[in-house]
Amino acid sequence: MRAAPPSPLPQFRNCPVPPAFRPRKPCQRKTQCYPETRCYPETRCYPETLSDSSESAASDSPSSRGAYLALASVCFFWGTTYLGIRMALESFAPTVLISTRFLLSGVILLVFLLWRGYKLPKTPELWKTALAGVVIIGGGNGALTYAELMIPSGLAAIFVTLAPFWFVGIDALLPDGVKLHTPTLLGMAIGFVGAVILALPGESYPLPMSTVVAGALMLQAGAILWAGGSMWQRRITRDSHPFMAGAIHQVAVGLAFAPFAAGEIWRHGMQFEARPVWALLYLVLFGSIVGYSSYLFALTRLPVAITSLYSYVNPVVAVALGWLFYREPFGFRESVAMLIIFAGVAVVKRFSSR
């Protein structure tokens, strides 16, 4: 662990010179400040590169207030996407929904960023970022879309809450990752108990246990891809702004699923109904453009422990909307299972950050 410098000024680990002493000129390439900003004292490097003292100093900045607002939008809008996906699936096949949604949102966001002067990353990083997007969104959101054909949206949202376990597990497998220890394993065991309770047969959901288990396993496979792709993206990013990376992710996913979507349309045609179309447009605007961009914005300006709070709020929003629009049942068993999973995730996050 790097020793703190004798200066009382906050230590910005990945900036070669503390921002207070930096001349008023653009950030150097090897810093992790945003390319369009200047390394003045009021700018911020990525939150994960800040020391504890600098995090507290940045907490009251306008940038931090904007990051908290972005996090609030993620908590709400991503919670609504579970319902939006279920509504859109009433008319659109999964491949058509995924390709259309992310191709539209990605192109809109990419054109806007280029118009605002943001630059595409260099070719090697561009291809790696595109591949990471296919893994992150295509795997994670694709698994969710297919799983909602089998299980209710609220139930799917609760199973997705187990995703932090995979972040911790994959990180432990990396050479420079944090190894698992007893409290973390205990938290994962607690979360697993909640997932088992949720998958057991019950009166609330008239579904075979095999269907619920298949949906849960599909969601965990998607969570593994989301976690692995996200950690890989953080290692390959050098020059691109997080918003630009998000736009490339979405365009890549839309193009990757386009051949499968075209085949689906050619075989079965398409039927347009008002509600699914409005749901698709909602997913494009609020789920992908606003939600995904806000997530990346918050992730680069807030500590990961704070940003990850959205995973607790999203299921609550999804369950409430699922009951409101589809009368998806949510009884005592589901409530207990959700609280147990939340407790397990809290334990993992609490001790894995040490």
pTM comes to 0.75
Confidence of residue 232 (pLDDT cuts 50, 70, 90): confident
Select from 140, 104, 133 the least CA-distant residue to 261.
104
- Over residues 248-294, the pLDDT tens digits come to 999 999 999 999 999 999 998 888 889 999 999 999 999 999 988 88
Q: Are 143 and 218 in contact (CB under 8 A)?
A: yes
Largest interatomic CA distance in the chain = 69
- Among 60-69, 155-164, 208-217, which stretch is predicted with the lowest mean pLDDT? 60-69
- Over residues 197-227, the pLDDT tens digits come to 877 766 666 778 888 889 999 999 999 998 8
> What angle (nearest 5°) sits at the alpha carbon of residue 216, between those of residues 105 and 147?
40
Average pLDDT over residues 128-157: 92
